Amino acid sequence: MSEKPTHDSTEVSRRKLLRTAATAAGAAAVLGAGVTTASAKMAQKAVGYQDTPKDDKTCDICSNWRPPNGCATVDGEIAAKGWCRIFVLKR
């Protein structure tokens, strides 16, 4: 005499799938937080920032410039006529 299983095997698989998906979503959130931390701005000293231009290169023509006095990659207040080693001319 054979007995029927008390649980439908598709329900167990569905539960396992949902559990795995929830775990993956949590892992993605944690990894995403790590990326944000890694993309933190650099210290002015680390990039050789100076509040005067170098030749004709100034922060206000750099692709990282964020008016009125900011930078996408360097921390702190930035002078429009400043310069640093990671200067990238706007195109």
Same domain, 46 and 79: yes
Range of the domain at 22: 8-40
Instruction: State phi, psi for 73 to the nearest 5 degrees.
Output: -120, -15
What is the structure's pLDDT at 15?
A: 79
What is the phi-psi region of residue 48: left when phi exceeds 0, alpha when psi lies from -120 to 50, beta otherwise? left
What CATH number is associated with residue 68? 4.10.490.10
Model confidence at 57: pLDDT above 60: yes
Number of domains in the chain: 2
Side chain identity at 47, as an amino acid letter? V
Residue tagged 């990671």 (tokens): 86
Same domain, 28 and 55: no
pLDDT in tens, 6-56: 655 556 677 777 777 777 776 666 566 554 445 699 999 999 999 999 999
Predicted TM-score (pTM) of the model is: 0.57
What are the C-alpha distances in Å from 84 to residues 13, 19, 40, 58, 62?
56, 49, 17, 8, 10
Q: Residue 2 domain-assigned?
A: no
